[in-house]
Amino acid sequence: MNDGLILTLLILAPLLAGAGCWVLRAAAARAVLVPAAGVACLLGAVLLLARGDGSLAAPAGIEAGLRPLAAGLDFALLAGFLWVAWRRKSLWTALFVLPQIPLLAWLETAGPEPYGPLFWADSLTMALVCVVCAVGSLICLWALPYMRRHEEHLQLARSRQPGFFLVLVGFLGVMNLLALAADLSLFYLAFEATTLCSFLLIGHNGDETARKNAVTALWMNSVGGLALLLAAVWAARTAGTLCIPMLAAPGVLGLVPLALICIAGMAKAAQPPFMRWLLGAMVAPTPTSALLHSSTMVKAGVFLVLRFAPAFAGSPVARILALAGGLTFCAAAALALGQSDGKRILAYSTISNLGLMLCCAGLDAPWALPAAALLMVFHAAAKGLLFLCMGTIEQRLATRQLGAQESLAQQLPRTAPLMVLGMLAMVLPPFGMLLGKWLTVEAATGSTALLLLLALGSALTVAYWTRWAGTLLGAEPRTPRRAAAAAADVADSADEDGAAPASGLDPDARRTALDEFWPAPEPQSRLRLGPELALAAATLMLAPLAPWLYALLAGPGAPAPAGWAWLAPVCTLAAVAGLWGAWRALRRDVLAPDPGLYLAGLTPACALDLHAAGEDSAPVAGPRAGYFLRPLNQAVTLDAGLYGLQSRLAEARLEPWAEALGAAALLGLLLGGLL
């Protein structure tokens, strides 16, 4: 009975909540159903964790009827995809969906009877379920004010939010089904259902680019679906069963179906040559990008490969997978360094980190698989936070360009530091991403090529995150004119909840350094800030827990690189000391007079500090003015931009190479399986 409750909470509840959002179209219904779905998911996740490993038994009558129901839904999905292919005249979609129909028909009629449990949970499953429930619920909550503002901005006559939330919330149930499925045909249903969700959400905005990118996502994911179905048919014919725990044991499946499974995972995880669909998916509203395309759906590909990793450990398939993952890690990081659009940087970063996880899955060391799972969990939390903050920034600035985000910490004093925290969580100790990267490098020491790729990729990763974080933290020179403008901006814009804004800066009050970080509240809804803060808190709190998480994922007595035991106390101490130092620094009084910038004699001495002069016409010179006076009293603005690496790391030049190498890796996987 308990198992049935867990399955209902995790799978059925979000699906029903999503359906409820669509049927009852009112915003009030959404405001109740979305948090309810989140609570149900979290409750289910907690019950699952308490229950422990093992198979879950659905109620007796349901299990019998589930397989035919799944088959029916599968055919309906494929029919739907074909209809889309016909409507959009997409040859590629038809090419990859049509072969799936006879294969599925064979599987359902002549395939093996379901043997063993339909649902199963181990530590990897629980990791994915926790990620989906925690990060997913927070993103769905955040999506409520975001979509309201999004539609206000677009001035739509009829709200499209019911359909959006149907898919967004229902997707949580689909992901939980994917994580818990122990039968390969059930897994395939969930896999294709995530493709459908992605297609619907990418095309949500309805304009031509969105629709085109949705179809691209559809056919590229269909390649993955076809590969998975081929592997399932092969497994049914050779091994006579579709039970995943049995198939994932070493020696049961041949190398070719395992290579096909890797290809399916790579297509879902947007590895080269399938990168384009994820880049194109960035046109979707931000909750989609945050939920599907960074935290959960693309992790389904990694989850699939990790699930079957024990079966192909040490084989040529594993070696080629590790190499392909390492190549992606390095190439996508180089591509990210050359981007100036914030969401595209995040997309390439996602692809790069997924490559790192797949590289881990192909390595032979005993700590490689727990390291990949650890990376999965930490990446989901940090990337979710980054996408949410990026969404807020995009709605404020109406642009995603990096250049427009300079000194955002002054304009958005709550969101920008959270975003910087997310970025630092991707590269710094004691956060889990760095520890996972370290474990991967430790596991890869047997291969020179992998060491090279991981070293280069790690350096490129640090470079692009540091550049972006520094841009956000920058400061514009403060002038009285800019301060007045900032105060007026706060006074004019009402809070999203409708509350009155806080008063502007009081120049006579004692200003502490805390005020520099928190000068005036951003006009931002609590429902938007809450999930962002929660994700940031999760990222912070998970950091010192990383060794315990690793032990949970790897099982008791698992080997780890030397020094792992020291890491937790040292990093916790460092983190606590850092937070204490930060708090001390924030409480310190900002000293007057203003120290000013060192301009190496460019500015004449403070005699020209004309702050009292009229602001609107003449520029004001002085150490904090941001101008200096040239001969003939011409004002020159002080400015410093970013190194635009777009020409050197041009996407147009690098991306074809990356895709070509990825396609070569795919061929290599198949050949490695065949030979």
Partner 1 sequence: MNALGVLLGGLAGLVLAPAAGALAQGLDRRLTARLQRRMGPPLLQPVYDLAKLWGKQPQRSGAWIGLCAWGCLAGSALASMLFFAGQDLLLVMLVQAAGAVFLVLGAMSAPSPYSRTGAQREVMLMLAYEPVLLLVAACLGLGAGGFTAADVLAAPEALLPRLPLAFAALLVALTVKLRKSPFDAAASAHAHQELVRGVYTEYSGPHLALVELAHCFDTALLLGLCGLFWATSWWAMVLLAALALVAEIAVDNACARLTWRAALASAWGAGVVLCVVNLFWLRLG
Interface with partner 1: number of residues (CB under 8 A): 65
- CA nearest to 459, candidates 352, 348, 357, 330: 330
Nearer to partner 1, 106 or 517 (CB): 517
Contact status: 407 vs partner 1 (CB under 8 A): yes
Instruction: Choose which of 508, 509, 598, 675 interacts with partner 1 (CB under 8 A).
Output: 598
Contact status: 474 vs partner 1 (CB under 8 A): yes
Instruction: Choose which of 509, 640, 652, 675 interacts with partner 1 (CB under 8 A).
Output: 640
- Least separation in angstroms between CB 349 and partner 1: 16
What distance, in Å, lies between the first and last C-alpha atoms of the chain? Answer: 48
Stretch of 84-92, 304-312, 596-604, 613-621 lying at the interface with partner 1 (CB under 8 A): 596-604
Instruction: Choose which of 53, 476, 497, 506 interacts with partner 1 (CB under 8 A).
Output: 476
Residues near 45 by beta carbon (within 8 Å), at least 6 away in sequence: 10, 126, 129, 130, 133, 134
- Least separation in angstroms between CB 360 and partner 1: 15
Stretch of 150-158, 222-230, 441-449, 549-557 lying at the interface with partner 1 (CB under 8 A): 441-449
Contact status: 106 vs partner 1 (CB under 8 A): no
In angstroms, rounded to a whole number, what is the distance separating the alpha carbons of residues 295 and 375?
11
Rg of the Cα atoms in the chain:
26
> Beta-strand (E) ranges in 134-211?
none
In angstroms, rounded to a whole number, what is the distance separating the alpha carbons of residues 590 and 337?
35
- Least separation in angstroms between CB 189 and partner 1: 41
292 DSSP assignment: I
293 DSSP assignment: I
Q: How far from 223 is each of 91, 101, 217, 501, 541, CA to CA, in Å?
A: 13, 13, 10, 51, 39
Alpha helices (runs of H) in 362-427, residue ranges in sequence order: 368-397, 408-411, 415-427
Stretch of 65-73, 116-124, 355-363, 443-451 lying at the interface with partner 1 (CB under 8 A): 443-451
513 DSSP assignment: H
Three-state secondary structure of 40-82: HHHHHHHHHHHHCCEEECCCHHHHHHHHHHHHHHHHHHHHHHH
Instruction: Choose which of 154, 570, 576, 674 interacts with partner 1 (CB under 8 A).
Output: 570
Contact status: 475 vs partner 1 (CB under 8 A): yes
Contact status: 647 vs partner 1 (CB under 8 A): no
Stretch of 72-80, 85-93, 310-318, 451-459 lying at the interface with partner 1 (CB under 8 A): 451-459
Stretch of 10-18, 138-146, 390-398, 465-473 lying at the interface with partner 1 (CB under 8 A): 465-473
Contact status: 424 vs partner 1 (CB under 8 A): yes
In angstroms, rounded to a whole number, what is the distance separating the alpha carbons of residues 140 and 213?
23
Contact status: 561 vs partner 1 (CB under 8 A): yes
Unique residue bearing structure tokens 């308490």: 50
Crossing angle of helices 60-87/184-202, nearest 10°?
A: 40
- Least separation in angstroms between CB 596 and partner 1: 7
- Least separation in angstroms between CB 450 and partner 1: 10
- Least separation in angstroms between CB 443 and partner 1: 11
In angstroms, rounded to a whole number, what is the distance separating the alpha carbons of residues 380 and 136?
10
Quick note: the x/- pattern for partner 1 over 502-541, rule CB under 8 A, is -----------x--xx------------------------
Q: Determine how many CB atoms are found less than 10 A away from the CB of residue 511.
A: 16
Per CB under 8 A, residues contacting partner 1 are: 407, 409, 420, 424, 427-429, 434, 437-438, 441-442, 445, 448, 451-452, 454-456, 458-460, 462-463, 466-467, 469-471, 473-477, 513, 516-517, 561-563, 566-567, 570, 574, 577-578, 581-582, 585, 588, 590-591, 595-600, 626, 638-640, 642-643, 648
